[in-house]
């Protein structure tokens, strides 16, 4: 399986062009949109979101990650093998949390490009062809291996007390894993306090709360409402825990 994780959105040509290259270079391999609306230009927030989504991908999946505001600069590129899955993309911290939470893995340089590379579209011209080669079974030489910590950002926290994603219902995911928060913890955003509940129907209609979402993150929500509206939550907002 090939999985796309990008901030491109589904509008416009970019996701389609990425898929076209993947189908061209790895025909017959399934391609899925894991997430097409990752936090725009925000590799840090995207790193915590991505790490929460990948445990449900089968071993052998190749993830193409493109949240890349530094495209065309000297920001570096990498391939990461972590817990049996491959990740291809910019070396800007996007895979930092995947690497930190993995038990096994290593980092390699991206395969050299076989054709022209646009300065502004490495996703199509460099990362997609590399991912397709991995999906076909090609592997980098072991002589190029680096430790998995080469993908880490040691100054980033293990859990991020910020809003990292807002879904179509207005629910606001944080970068914090719920399992590491006390049952009695309250999350504060813009001065509003949300207490923990198990699920939506456990609170009255219109009430804000937080819960452990299906991907293990602490998520702010409103029963039959929108947390982004009720709490003023936006991607990038910091949250407090008390």
Q: Which residues contact 92 (CB under 8 A, 6 or more apart)?
A: 43, 67, 68, 69, 70, 75, 76
pLDDT digits (tens, 9 = 90+) for 84-143: 999 999 999 999 999 999 999 999 999 999 899 999 999 999 999 999 999 999 999 999
Check if CATH label 2.40.30.90 holds for domain 160-241: yes
The answer to whether the predicted template modeling score (pTM) of the entire model surpasses 0.95 is: yes
Would you say how long the chain is, in residues? 242
Q: Which residues contact 173 (CB under 8 A, 6 or more apart)?
A: 49, 52, 163, 164, 165, 166, 167, 213, 215, 217, 218, 219, 220
For residues 90 and 70, what is the distance between their CA atoms, to the nearest angstrom?
Answer: 8
| Predicted pLDDT of residue 86 | 98
Q: Which residues contact 156 (CB under 8 A, 6 or more apart)?
A: 44, 47, 93, 96, 97
Domain ranges of the chain: 2-151, 160-241
| Predicted pLDDT of residue 46 | 98
| Predicted pLDDT of residue 74 | 96
pLDDT digits (tens, 9 = 90+) for 18-77: 999 999 999 999 999 999 999 999 999 999 999 999 999 999 999 999 999 999 999 999
| Predicted pLDDT of residue 154 | 96
Q: Is 1 exposed, middle or buried (0-12, 13-18, 19+ CB in 10 A)?
A: middle
- Domain at 2-151: CATH architecture: 3-Layer(aba) Sandwich (3.40)
């Amino acid at each position: 399986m090939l999985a796309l994780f990008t901030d491109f959105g589904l509008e416009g040509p970019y996701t389609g062009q990425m898929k076209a290259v993947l189908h061209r270079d790895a025909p017959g391999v399934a391609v899925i949109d894991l997430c097409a609306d990752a936090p725009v230009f925000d590799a840090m927030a995207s790193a915590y979101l991505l790490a929460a989504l990948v445990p449900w991908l089968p071993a052998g999946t190749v993830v193409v990650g493109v949240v890349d505001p530094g495209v065309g600069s000297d920001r570096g590129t990498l391939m990461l093998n972590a817990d049996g899955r491959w990740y291809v993309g910019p070396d800007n911290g996007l895979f930092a949390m995947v690497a930190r939470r993995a038990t096994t893995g290593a980092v390699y340089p991206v395969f050299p490009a076989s054709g022209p590379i646009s300065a502004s579209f490495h996703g199509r011209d460099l990362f997609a062809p590399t991912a397709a080669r991995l999906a076909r079974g090609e592997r980098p030489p072991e002589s190029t291996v680096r430790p998995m910590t080469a993908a880490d950002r040691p100054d980033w926290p293990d859990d991020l007390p910020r809003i990292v994603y807002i879904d179509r219902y207005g629910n606001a995911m944080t970068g914090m894993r719920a399992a590491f928060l006390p049952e009695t913890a309250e999350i504060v955003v813009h001065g509003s306090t949300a207490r923990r509940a198990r699920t939506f129907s456990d609170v009255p209609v219109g009430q804000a709360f937080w819960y452990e979402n299906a991907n293990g993150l602490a998520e702010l929500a409103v029963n039959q409402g929108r947390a982004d509206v009720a709490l003023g939550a936006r991607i990038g907002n910091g949250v407090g825990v008390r």
